[in-house]
Amino acid sequence: MINWPLAELLPHAGDMILIDQVLAFDEEQIRTRLTVKPGGLFNRADGSLPAWVGVELMAQSVAAYAGCRARQNGEAVELGFLLGTRKFECNVEHFPAGTELTIHGLRSLEDDNGMGVFECHLTGDGIQASARLNVFRPPQAANYLAESKDTRHD
């Protein structure tokens, strides 16, 4: 179990942090968990989460992976981007309130320019979801965002 606070691993704040805990990580993978709590930003009236939120849970797990690696190396946690997902499959339409979910993200590709691909699986009681996430974490993200802003034409 990793004891770093999630707010120090993710470039998210407050209610946007959806995962509860990093269970384990190494150079190639991460395992996270959460318990579905009613009343969040994406919950349905019955307290459940729509299955499509699984993509965000996977993306936050990948972001936590990057945050853990940064912390381990004494570096600052940088902003990253979810570029897209392929093959999102889920055997349910929603995740009921109170359900404990575990997310496993496995790095299958990462290059020096910040592009990465992760194979992700989300499981819970009777729940199976999977997706391939394409992510981008530019070196020195703050400079990248400033450059993007400067080149925009209003």
Distance between CA 131 and CA 51 in Å, rounded?
12
Distance between CA 125 and CA 149 in Å, rounded?
45
Give me the percent of the chain exceeding a pLDDT of 90. 64
Closest CA to 21 of 36, 37, 11, 6: 6
pLDDT at 152: 59
Single-letter amino acid, residue 99: T
C-alpha dihedral sign at 93, 94, 100, 102? positive
Give the tens place of pLDDT for each residue, 73-104. 998 888 889 999 989 999 999 999 999 999 99
Residue 118 in contact with residue 108, Cβ under 8 Å? yes
Query: Mean pLDDT, to the nearest integer, of 27-55?
Result: 96
pLDDT at 110: 84
- 30: pLDDT strictly greater than 80: yes
Distance between CA 44 and CA 82 in Å, rounded?
24
Locate 144 and state its tokens: 């990248």
- 131: pLDDT strictly greater than 60: yes
Ordered by start, the domain boundaries in the chain are 6-151
Rounded alpha-carbon distances, angstroms, from residue 26 to 46, 58, 104, 140: 36, 16, 12, 23
Residue with tokens 């009613």: 38
Give the tens place of pLDDT for each residue, 52-76. 999 999 999 999 999 999 999 998 8
pLDDT at 7: 86
pLDDT at 60: 95
pLDDT at 138: 81
CATH T-level topology, domain 6-151? Thiol Ester Dehydrase; Chain A (3.10.129)
